[in-house]
Chains A and B, each alone.
Chain A
């Protein structure tokens, strides 16, 4: 319905950049001629002062607050959808709900009865939960987006050279990791930003143009220039990454996450900055880093970690636990169940539902990440007090 208007906005933008071709210029002129109001709008959009005011208005808008609301509403919807007898989402549901209001009541009773019946079998002394299906662990994979917008699925592509940006050759090595190789000596000022993104269940390893190595955990994104230019080496991270930074005293390495900025002088450290976790945690293995968030800044010694929420608090770290993922392990050290299950969910690309279980209860243990999810869950069950049931890509935790 508003297609024409969307197009006019694009034309005006091109006009400002001086990129209009003849046909487009004519289209814009036609729109301007059609109505005085159009001319007035156009003129106001060409004035810097007006533009600045409007941009400021746009800038004031609080995205975070709205997103939290939306996220919560969506989450509630998904929870309700799961409780419904027929959890098949999509167009079916709309018709179904309208037509079957009465039947729903009866069916719900039946379903509850069925569940109750099932759980009683769990009280048998030697039975572990019956797993009707199992879920494979995550694997090596990621999507690389080049500066021109092209995106490449790294697991599908063959080894060898993938592309070249800003005089840097990008290739996939035999062991399945991404390497940036400086080919041309002269520094270009072109900002070729690349984005490496992993989905749930994926992990990848990249060597940046300065030799820094980054391991990305599941559901994470790293944004960086194809070539580092200038007084600093800067990358952006959402999710979790383990960094081994190539030393360079003159040009500090900086990692920017939604809530903090970490300055590094050549070290090994882990950053955990998922959007659906309350805090961001940076753990230093070796070397020296400084963490800045808003007005706060703290320096870390090896073995320490910085937890960033409203402020930064520094504490002793369990290095093994924080970096276990990179070595193919899960190590949980007295962590709340919910926290553990979120990590499991990201790696196995599943969802977890809690049925009468205290999600704050602490659990511990260490397991390989490369086993199927049933082995991990079975080990957690051995600690007692919890049972898991796997239904396709959903795990139900019960007492």
Chain B
């Protein structure tokens, strides 16, 4: 925190790593445009850097980030000349119901707390986890895509299961693991 205020860029990187993704998720939910969301959130981080001396705690920073993103999103929607049906609907909703924004905050933060676990996985391990969990790829496909051995892929899977805490994340890949073992035994 101190380092950030003094102007150490690693301090900004620290807050960026924690908050960038959920903020993009949050803004995308508001404006339905991923590309624009990236720009909006990036600008907010630059703004944060400009004002770094004003913040006393990480909590204040987090609140600032979400509030700024929310305001920037509303501005964006207001300024849109040609709005898609979805965006128009959304804006109507936003103007009427503040609760929706609040719930988006809850959702973004919750999903991020799960994702932070995935972010803890070392690089290659994370890549394997993503291919397995998000893309449902099989062990040999993963080995092929990444140019590593099947044995290494299994090691990474095991490691991911060890590191991850959330039950359903572990289950998500463990299932694939046991299925592979089953097929293997079956083939014998």
Contacts and interface: CB of A to CB of B under 8 A. Distances in A.
B49 interface: yes
Interface in A48-105: 48, 51-52, 54-59, 61-63, 65-67, 69-71, 73-74, 77, 89-91
A296 B147 contact: yes
Interface in A244-258: 256, 258
A236 interface: yes
Interface string A2-41: 1111101110110011000000000000000001011001
B165 to A, nearest CB: 7
A9 B21 contact: no
B83 interface: no
Interface residues of B, number: 63
Q: Is the interface of B mostly helix, strand, loop or mixed?
A: helix
Given A71-B9, A256-B122, A231 B155 contact: yes
Contacts of A10: 109, 113
Interface in B24-63: 24-25, 28, 38, 41-42, 45-46, 49-50, 53-54, 59, 62-63
A5 B102 contact: yes
A70 B46 contact: yes
A234 interface: yes
Interface in B65-108: 66-67, 99-100, 102-103, 105-108
B147 A51 contact: no
Contact of B20 (A66, A74, A232): A66
A258 B17 contact: no
A45 B147 contact: no
Contacts of A69: 42
A256 B124 contact: yes
Interface string A172-202: 0000000000000000010100000001000
Interface residues of A, number: 59
Contacts of A292: 124, 147-148
B28 to A, nearest CB: 8
A9 B12 CA distance: 24
Interface in B1-33: 3, 7-10, 12-13, 16-17, 20-22, 24-25, 28
A200 to B, nearest CB: 8
A204 B100 CA distance: 50
Q: Is the interface of A mostly helix, strand, loop or mixed?
A: helix
Given A52-B172, A61-B24, A63-B17, A45 B166 contact: no
A67 B21 contact: no
Contact of A58 (B3, B21, B165): B21
A56 B114 CA distance: 11
Contacts of A2: 63, 66-67, 102, 105
B181 interface: no
Contact of A9 (B7, B10, B17, B106): B106
B45 A70 contact: yes
A42 to B, nearest CB: 9
9 contacts: A17-B167, A45-B111, A58-B22, A58-B25, A61-B38, A63-B20, A74-B12, A89-B7, A91-B54
Q: Which 8 A-B pairs have the closest CB atoms?
A: A9-B109, A295-B147, A5-B105, A9-B110, A56-B134, A73-B46, A58-B115, A54-B111
Interface of B: 3, 7-10, 12-13, 16-17, 20-22, 24-25, 28, 38, 41-42, 45-46, 49-50, 53-54, 59, 62-63, 66-67, 99-100, 102-103, 105-115, 118, 122-124, 130, 133-134, 146-148, 155, 159, 162-163, 165-168, 172
Given A74-B12, A89-B53, 18 more contacts: A2-B102, A9-B107, A12-B106, A16-B166, A35-B99, A37-B99, A41-B106, A51-B168, A55-B134, A57-B28, A63-B21, A77-B49, A77-B50, A199-B3, A219-B10, A230-B159, A236-B122, A236-B123
